[in-house]
Amino acid sequence: MHEISLVQGLLDQLRELASENGAKRVVRVKVAIGPFSGVVVDSFVFGFKVLAPNSDFARDAVLQIERPLPSYRCKDCGWTVPDTEMRPESCPSCGGDGLFPVGGDELLLMQVEME
Ligand SMILES: [Zn+2]
């Protein structure tokens, strides 16, 4: 389960941010996990629940997950179908079926609330 090491990385990042800002603890953290990031959200949340209480600075931190949707771009005409859950069957512009995903592979620290 590589989510555990991802959570560990997140906590390291949070610790650094907290000390840079002279904050004692992290109250809330928002993370964006794209559908193609290879991250299993449930495992990530579970990992956070396991690891965060072991840290003094993120013990009570609330984890918020955002799931950005990918866009699909047509390789024939360049048309982009924005933010869609399902891969479109064909390009709405030229009818071609060469649509490939753009984005959606992100694992991003979006927002941190500290005090
Ligand atoms: Zn097209």
Q: Which residues surround ligand 1, an ion (CB under 5 A)?
A: 74, 76-77, 79, 91, 93-94, 96
Going from the Cα of 79 to the center of ligand 1, the distance in angstroms, rounded, reads 5
Going from the Cα of 43 to the center of ligand 1, the distance in angstroms, rounded, reads 37
Q: Is 59 helix (H, G, I), strand (E, B) or coil?
A: coil
Q: Is residue 97 part of a domain?
A: no
pLDDT band at 1 (very low <50, low <70, confident <90, very high): low
Count of domains observed in the chain? 1
* Torsional class of 83: left (φ above 0), alpha (ψ -120 to 50), beta (otherwise): left
Q: Residue 49 belongs to what domain range?
A: 3-69+103-114
Q: Is residue 78 part of a domain?
A: no
Going from the Cα of 66 to the center of ligand 1, the distance in angstroms, rounded, reads 29
- Beta pairing partners, 113: 28
Q: What is the CATH number of the domain that holds 28?
A: 3.30.2320.80
Q: What would the pLDDT profile of 38-78 be if each residue is shown by its tens digit?
A: 999 999 999 999 999 999 999 999 999 999 999 999 999 99
Q: Is residue 19 part of a domain?
A: yes
Give the residue from 31, 57, 25 showing the smallest Cα distance to 45: 31
For residue 17, count other CB atoms closer than 10 A to its CB. Answer: 16
Q: Measure the CA–CA gap between 70 and 95, rounded to whole angstroms.
A: 20
Q: Is residue 92 part of a domain?
A: no
